Amino acid sequence: MMVNMITLAYEPMVWVWPVFHNSTLWILLILILIPVLFVYIALRIQKRYANITLNWNKILKYGYKRKLNNTEVLLLKKFFDSLGISLQENLSILLDKHKFSSLFYSFLITETMANKEVFVRLLSKLFPENEHHLEIKSLNDIRLGEVCSIEYDTKVRHLGNVLKKTSDELLISIEGEIVSTIDQPIHIYFFRVGLCGYVLSGMVKRYKTDGFLFSWDGQITEKGDQHIMSEIVTSITLLPWDIDLVEVDLTSKKRVEYTKDSILFKPIEAITISFSEQAILFNFKSETDSQYLKKYDIWDLELKIGNSKSFHLKGKIYASKSKNDNYIYKWLKPLESEMVQILDEIKKNKPINAVIL
């Protein structure tokens, strides 16, 4: 019996490289470039917004340094937005006081906000003059070129500038025409940074299209934003507020409890010198390490004034510029009832206009 043997031929596998056509290369190149381009655009946008945020923060810092409130900061932002220039160019305008004041005044004239007193306060804060800290007791205290707002018919109508003055008259320029008649009652509002607003009452003596002659009747009324202070001597105690926050030992995962007998919990005694609506000027009864004061950010102050019960405030301690051993305690946000007690006590003790401590 014969066995037929079938022999299978073995053919080795051969690797064949694909043939790339021009269209294939373009497709691969596009597939590579798309994510690269996407990352590039994303980084550019991120950098652009980072620069915008950084530059706008500089403008905000400029505004808050001059004690602008939120309404005034928003007006400042609206002004820069209206210029249609880059934020870098906006920053350069801040450095040119004359250009900045001219552009900003022109912007405010076109604004439709009814209460022009807001504009007067804003301009006075942004561009204070040497006289900004002086009270207005007569027309001699008003500076030529000083900005003001004009009110009549119980509504503030115009933003103006003082052109000339005598002992009882002011020549004031305005944009537009004053809707008035001779001898109509009128009020002129000025503002002094750190003090308050001042309203002068009188009559329109003469007027024309873009200005009028104001005849003062001798009356000056203070209006808002006035800060007062008085000398009040009383004992206070201070203790770091954040010292009794619970500490966790990260190595053992256990809570570290301080006891009230610890030296860290012994309050520091001090004596007050004066109170204002915002802070207390004081000095310590005994020598206190300045490094210890800097170690803690927030301090608890126990205070008793007048016939009230003692209460606690949270605030920060700063060295005073007036004297080396004096310090300032500036509270963060007292309760309304506490603020009322402090203000009542200030008013009882011969209050004066607040000064920088």
**Residues in Cβ contact with 9 at an 8 Å cutoff, skipping those fewer than 6 apart:** none
Of these ranges, 14-18, 194-198, 244-248, 259-263, the one predicted with the greatest mean pLDDT is 194-198
Q: Is 66 within 8 Å of 126 (Cβ atoms)?
A: yes
pLDDT at 318 over 60: yes
Q: What is the DSSP letter of 182?
A: T
- Euclidean distance between CA atoms 321 and 63, whole angstroms: 23
The dotted CATH code for 124-223 is 2.40.10
Q: How would you classify the pairing of strands 235-240 and 268-276? A: antiparallel
The yes-or-no answer to whether 124-223 and 228-353 have a common fold is: yes
Q: Where are the domains of the chain?
A: 37-95, 124-223, 228-353
Distance CA 313, CA 318 (A): 15
Task: Using pLDDT thresholds of 50, 70 and 90, give the confidence band for residue 310.
Answer: confident
Tell me how far apart the 2 most distant CA atoms of the chain are, in Å. Answer: 147
- pLDDT(257) > 90: no
Q: At what angle do helices 70-83 and 87-95 cross, to 10 degrees?
A: 110
Residue 214, H or E segment: strand 211-223
Structure tokens at 70: 């939120």
Does this model's pTM top 0.85? My answer is no
Q: Are 125 and 66 in contact (CB under 8 A)?
A: yes
Q: Other CB atoms closer than 10 Å to residue 230's CB: what's the count? A: 16
Provide Rg for the chain, Cα atoms: 35
At 200 the pLDDT is 93
Quick one: which H or E segment has residue 35?
helix 22-65
Per-residue pLDDT tens digits for 55-81: 667 777 777 778 787 788 888 888 888
Residues counted in the chain: 357
Query: What pLDDT score was predicted for residue 263?
Result: 47
In the three-class reduction of DSSP (H, G, I as helix; E, B as strand; rest coil), residue 58 is classed as helix
Residues 6+ apart with CB under 8 A from 121: 72, 191, 197, 225
Taking only the tens place, the pLDDT of each residue in 94-141 is 788 888 888 998 898 888 777 788 899 999 888 887 655 677 889 999
Residue 25's pLDDT is what? 67
Q: Which pLDDT band, with edges at 50, 70 and 90, does 144 fall under?
A: very high
Indicate the average pLDDT of the chain.
Answer: 77
**Eight-state DSSP code of residue 126:** H
Residue 355, CA distances (Å) to 90, 141, 171, 228, 241 in order: 33, 19, 32, 8, 28
Q: Which residues pair with 211 in a beta bridge?
A: 173, 208
How far is 103 from 124, CA to CA, in rounded Å? Answer: 15
- CA 156 to centroid of chain Cα atoms: 26
Question: Does residue 20 carry a pLDDT above 60?
Answer: no
CA atoms of 315 and 332, how far apart (whole Å): 5
First to last CA, the chain: 126
Q: 3-class SS at 112? A: coil
pLDDT at 156: 64
pLDDT in the model for residue 250: 45
Q: What integer pLDDT is reported at residue 4 of this predicted model?
A: 53
Of the candidate ranges 171-180, 239-248, 300-309, the one whose mean pLDDT is the lowest = 239-248
Give residue 357's pLDDT band: very low, low, confident or very high (50, 70, 90).
low
Would you state the pLDDT for residue 87? 65
Q: Residues 39-48: pLDDT tens digits? A: 667 666 665 5
Return the higher-pLDDT residue of 137 and 27: 137
pLDDT tens, 8-17?
A: 555 566 565 6
How many percent of the chain have pLDDT more than 70? 73
Looking at 2.40.10.220, 3.40.50.10740, 3.40.720.10, 3.30.1490.70, the CATH number of the domain 228-353 comes to 2.40.10.220
Whether the Cβ atoms of residue 135 and residue 192 lie closer than 8 Å to each other: yes
- Residue 246's pLDDT is what? 46
